[in-house]
Amino acid sequence: MLRPTSRLPARLGRTELSWRDKIWHINWSLVALLTVIAGIGFLNLYSAAGGSLEPWAMKSMIRFGMGMAILIGVALIDIRLWMRHSYGLYLLSMVLLVLVELKGTIGMGAQRWIDLGFIQLQPSEIMKIALILSLARYFHGATYQDVGRPLFLLPPLLMVLAPVALVLKQPDLGTAMMLMMTSGAIFFMAGVRLWKFAVILAAGLAAIPVAWQFLHDYQRRRVLVFLDPDQDPLGSGYHITQSKIALGSGGVFGKGFMDGTQSRLNFLPEKQTDFIFTMFGEEWGMVGGLVLLGLYVLLIGYGYAIALRCRSQFGRLVALGITTTFFLYFFINTAMVMGLVPVVGVPLPLISYGGTAMLSLLFGWGLVMSAYIHRDVTIGRRGSHED
Amino acid sequence: MYHDNDRMKVFNRRAMMLASGKAVLVGTLAARMYYLQVIEAEKYAMLAEDNRISTRLLAPPRGLILDRNGIAMAVNQHNYRVLLVPEQTPSIDYTLDALGRIIVLTESDRARIKKEAGRRRSFVPITVRENLSWEEVARTEVNAPDLPGLVIDVGQSRNYPLENLGAHILGYVAAVSEQDLTDDPLEQLPGFRIGKAGVEKIYDLALRGRHGTSRVEVNSVGRVIKEMDRDEGLPGADIHLTLDMRLQEYAAQRLGDESASVVVMDIHTGEVLVMASTPSFDPNAFNRGLTTEEWKELVNNPRSPLTNKAIAGTFAPGSTFKLVVALAAIEHNVISPDQTVFCPGHMSLGNAKFHCWKKGGHGSMNLVNAIKNSCDVYFYDVARRLGVDRIADMAKRFGLGSPTGIDLPGERAGIVPSRDWKRAALGQPWHPGETLVNGIGQGYCTATPLQLAVMTARLANGGLAVVPHVARERIIDKRAEPRSKPDWEGCGCSAKALTLVRQGMFAVSNEPGGTAFRARISQDGMWLSGKTGTAQVRRITMRERETGVRKNEDLPWKERDHALFVAYAPEEAPRYAIAVVVEHGGGGSAVAAPIARDVMIEVQKRERARLAGLSGEAR
């Protein structure tokens, strides 16, 4: 367990840490927790394939291995380095987003990824991290008084809106919403006044009818079907209806591992990706679902504890931003499969089959870990150790 | 660093706020999980089962229809079909080409198969051809290795081995139409046939049986994963008829090409032994599907082969109706048995003149002689004395004017006219002259051959209101029960009247000068007693009477008289009643009576042979 009031050895106060110190201070219980959750995912993918490692479970395990390596790697890199390169990473992401947009236009359809051969790179995934880093850097140097000035908030606002607009154009409503909500959380944590949120919220509500005009047909249909799934039980409503049937029929203790009829007989769509939680709920019941929920809450609790333990505003904001992104992933996904929010393409973190999300999430947790390792490092305005 | 502390405080406070917000959301998730997986669990469990389990219907074999001696009249035949499972062949075209070299495949077959293959899931079998001959099946089986995706399947189809013999009683089966739909799930099965006429229709539910079910687990696209359980259902009940198909065959042959009907029934039990209606049709054609030409030919044939004339053909009973007029006369004492009426060949009422069929007249006639000679004037006079309503009353007691209640669909009532009937049906008052015409079974009066047979049976069995039937067992819903010993009510006619009328009928057939004397049965113990009838279908004008009434042979078919004959036999201990109607056949004594004689001889011979066989076995 994490000890928020751990003893403070003298050497931790120093601004430079040796490699030995860093490895020593990797939070292994956090690593264990991530592995447990991913393990549940492997079991699920094994069951989804009808009791086979192929085609999903094995690949997912390999990706998790790669992801863990990235996590450790990212964690060991000095957090100030990440801070110094935040804006660069942001610019790179923007360029990639524009590139994807151009390629997508030429390819006559929505294209969200760039093929790098070994992996299909989704610029929007990188942007999720780059935006958190950039905003954290921007607010790192700001005093509470700075944050109170409207003009001061203009650059970060633009920083958010530019990628959101590009992602919306892809169109990827889910990612756009996640970018906005994560950014909102960072603004909130940075101390932006509450009344401003109220204004934005009111403006947002007022803008819904306008935004409706810009939605694609399939997106509108998803929203309408969410509001009334019965209007199209065999079309767009099919997913959510079957998902609820699977979950509900699981009952308290579930139908047993590999015995979910809805998933085994293919009534459940996308059971290895977005609807994997449904399958889990069908086979393991409410008990299983609550255990998984508990594990996620525990992980998020870790993220909060780390954020609160950080000395630097950058570390705090990064840890909290990543944690919030993670929370949004898991909340939107589970709420979606339970019919609480419209169907949007958001995977269940660490469990759904899919490479980019797994790698980018572990990359994110690597940053949280880095913030933990470098929790006592003070950081200057531009990422140096002096103010 | 002062501002850093500020920020710390703000950050910590807001982290708590954000965390509580997230806690609320997580709480919502947990609550939703509880709602779905505990409160609504049962409902969703049921829906999941519905998804998973598909109930397939199994069609039970349809019950057989057999005659009284066990001759099969309606059976189920194996129907060999070739099915194609598209997913099991690399190319539908390849398989069809290969099959086309073995059995005949038309272009339209191919087009239909391709169309269906495009519409259905690839594992659903498509019917390539039905009703394959055994040779075609064998050839296909032998070449099976070169015919990927083909499956030979055995279905059942209805077959009537006797073809057009007894077709009217059997009826036929055909595909379910919209208005036939009930809530029997069997009707939803593709290719399911239901009874559309005759016994097939009236006992359809019993013949169908109860559907079986096979519960199978299916996946989301409907592919069967495994069978969970199976209920074979109940095969349809076999129906034994009272008909004797060998007699039926004899009667049909005897009728030949005439548009005619013969009904023979047991006067005590009501069993119908023969019910022939010619011309007939082949019910197999309906199951196979008729071409438009075939259908038109059946419908437009003036001799209406599709109609069961025995129950749905209504004819003027002619002189056979005199039997009930005579009964009514004795019963109401309007004339005594010995009282005579003088027949000069015609009778006048008002300024209208009513002719007897015999131009010179019969002279003095008492009741028995009037029946024997079928004297029209006698019955004009008796009818005048009775009035139409008392005649109608007696006719109804003997089964005329309403359906007999036989277990066949489509029976018609015929007409027994009365004052009330005319007012209701035509809105006109009754004319006294019509009573006279009615007295000799002409005018409005009509009856079916079956009604005439029932009338004769009731006369012969001592005035008991026997009701005819064709199924040996009583069929209630889907079960067949043996019939209880018949216990008929009386018709309300005195023995005296019946005896007199039967004396008259005896004279008709067995005394020289009787209208059917030439068609008597001379074999001992088989004698029949009958009554001829010749129903005029056109009006004979005064001018024609002066120049000479045209002979039937000189008239177009449609204008010729109907020939009728009713009889019972054997005379000493009556057992069978018969009615013969030959539509536009000519005179009753010349045409109908010989047919009745021949059929009655055959009926009694069969019965004697049966009894001999029984005693032979006993020995």
Chain A residue numbers with beta carbons less than 8 Å from the beta carbon of B36 are 244, 247-248, 338
- Tell me the CB-side half-sphere exposure of residue A363, using CA atoms within 13 A: 16
Whether A305 has its CB under 8 Å from any CB of chain B: the answer is no
Helix (H, G, I), strand (E, B) or coil at A69: helix
Contact A252, A285 (CB under 8 A): yes
The mean pLDDT of B485-508, rounded to a whole number, is 91
Sort strands B53-58 and B341-343 into parallel, antiparallel or unpaired: unpaired
Residues of B designated catalytic: 319
Q: How far is CA A37 from CA B32, B34, B42, B477, in A?
A: 21, 22, 29, 64
Q: Residue B485 burial (CB < 10 Å; 0-12/13-18/19+)?
A: exposed
Higher pLDDT, B120 or B363: B363
Judged by CB atoms closer than 8 Å, whether chains meet at B52 and A300 is answered as: no
Q: Which residues contact A243 (CB under 8 A, 6 or more apart)?
A: A268, A269, A275, A278, A337, A338, A339
Q: Is the pLDDT of residue B124 over 80?
A: no
Instruction: Show the domains of chain B with their CATH numbers.
Output: 56-240 (3.90.1310.10), 245-282+306-618 (3.40.710.10)
Instruction: Pick the residue from chain A with its C-alpha nearest to B33.
Output: A286
A295 CB contacts (<8 Å, ≥6 apart)? A33, A36, A37, A40
Distance (Å) from the alpha carbon of B184 to chain A's nearest alpha carbon? 27
B214 has pLDDT over 70: yes
Burial A148-163 (b: 16+ CB within 10 A, else e): eeeebbeebeebbebb
In the structure encoding, which two tokens stand for residue A378, read together?
């003070």
- Residue of A203, A71, A66 lying closest to A129 (CA atoms): A71
Which positions in chain B touch A297 (Cβ < 8 Å)?
26
What confidence tens digit (pLDDT) does each residue in B164-193 have?
898 999 998 887 777 877 777 777 776 678
Identity of the residue in A265, A307, A334 whose CB atom sits nearest the CB atom of B29: A334
pLDDT in tens, A62-110: 999 999 999 999 999 999 999 999 999 999 999 988 888 777 555 444 5
Name the closest residue on chain A to residue B13, using Cα atoms.
Answer: A189
B70 pLDDT more than 80: yes
> CB–CB of A285/A250 below 8 Å?
yes
What does the DSSP assignment read for B463-485? SB----BSBSEEEETTEEEEPPP
Contact A304 B47 (CB under 8 A): no
CA separation for the pair B441, B401 (Å, rounded): 13
Inter-chain touch B29–A335, beta carbons under 8 Å: yes
Q: Are B185 and B57 in contact (CB under 8 A)?
A: yes
Q: A171: exposed, middle or buried (C-beta count within 10 Å: 0-12, 13-18, 19+)?
A: middle
Interface test with B, best of A230, A240, A249 (most B CBs within 10 A): A249
* Interchain contact A262–B (C-beta under 8 A): yes
Spatial distance between the Cα atoms of B529 and B521, rounded to a whole number of angstroms: 9
> pLDDT tens, B395-453?
999 999 999 999 999 999 999 999 999 999 999 999 999 999 999 999 999 999 999 99
How do A114-115 and A120-121 pair as beta strands? antiparallel
Please state the ipTM of this predicted complex.
0.90
Chain B residues with CB under 8 Å of A290 CB are: 30, 33
Q: Do A145 and B3 touch (CB under 8 A)?
A: yes
d(CA B70, CA A313): 102
Per-residue pLDDT, A8: 46
Give the pLDDT confidence of B93-111 residue by residue, as tens digits: 888 888 888 888 888 888 8
Its sign, for the CA torsion A357, A363, A365, A371, is negative
Q: 3-class secondary structure for B358-403? A: CCCCCEEECHHHHHHHCCHHHHHHHHHHHCHHHHHHHHHHCCCCCC
Q: B579 or B297: which carries more pLDDT confidence?
A: B579
Contacts with B256 (C-beta within 8 Å, 6 or more apart), sequence order: B278
Residue A386 confidence (pLDDT) above 50:
no
Residues 6+ apart with CB under 8 A from B293: none
Residue B457 reports pLDDT greater than 70: yes
